[in-house]
Structure 1
Amino acid sequence: MWLLIDSLRILSQRGLRKMKSKAQHGAGKNKIRIMVVDDHAIVRQGLIKLIETEFDLMVCSEVENANQALEAMGKQEFDLAIVDISLEGINGLELTEIMKLRSPKMIVLILSMYEGLFYAQRALRAGASGYVAKYEAAEKIITAIRLVLSGKIYVSDSRMVKNISDTTSIIDDSINTNKAT
């Protein structure tokens, strides 16, 4: 009787090892590769835990500053970088510009504690595809990730989106008026 139970346990463990091996072997295939850049470890860890709940997203690198982010980019390709706007040294906006020069296809989502239109506009001008306030609920951050990955622009506050659209319309009207004269 004990032999039977022991054999079943061993077979079960082998089966689990095989399943784990297969899961690990295929773990990185067809997943969106993400880098998280934030100088606060607790924020990085929270984002990683949140992202890990999504079956098709994978954090491949977490770094605390721009230099580490650029170094990581030299070692592997990323589909998405989530970048804190207020990094020490090279800030998130400057880092975004450098990242987009080095890897134009990589999508950048700025994460910020600032909620003003001014910062969102600067982030988009720097090449970011989205701007998320750190106070947002977890679902909103996942929504932002999904939208920018689909090629759309995401800005946390709907008032900011309206203001950005209004500003863009004013600039477009100004350019068209100048062309006509």
Structure 2
Amino acid sequence: MKGRNMTRWRDPAKDPRQEPKSNLITAEGAARLRGVLDHLTRVKRPALSTKVGEAAAQGDRSENADYTYNKKELNRVIARIGYLTKRLDEVQVVDRLPADQEKVYFGAHVTLEDEEGEEIHIRIVGHDETRTENRWISVDAPLAKTLLGKRLDDDVTVLAPGGETTYIITAISYTAPSAKA
């Protein structure tokens, strides 16, 4: 059986996509998701509905590229709205700083130094907020799981694709949650 919905079989016990994801999110991340949802519901969806209606009024829909494209785009936006609505109901917003800011917890900005002396700065955020270009990693990532609960100057060993890497925690800081969330 071949088809576009066929994928390679994966053992559910070993598939990392089957691992439960945490529902934590920072206040800033929740505000950003609410903003995206608001934009999609108040701006994007009505505009696409209008375009679909105008394209449908032109007649034969089977050969109408405007209708087909805009209808697909509208369905994609409706699906995204549904996902964001459900996700915002599920997430738990972390809107306060931890009592012990000397340890690594959710929302921490952590500076790590590897064996060669190179420093990397990461932030531990929720699953929906990860940004590789900013080095914001998910709390579910192996590095984040290893860092949680560690203190300044602790050694951390992480199994990476290139082998084990050892880091030293050189700085831990937190950003106060914004009041607008």
TM range (shorter): under 0.3
Larger helix fraction of residues: 1
**Which gives a bigger RCO, structure 1 or 2 (Cα 8 Å, sep 6+)?**
2
TM-score (ref. length: structure 2): 0.26
TM-score (ref. length: structure 1): 0.26
Larger strand fraction of residues: 2
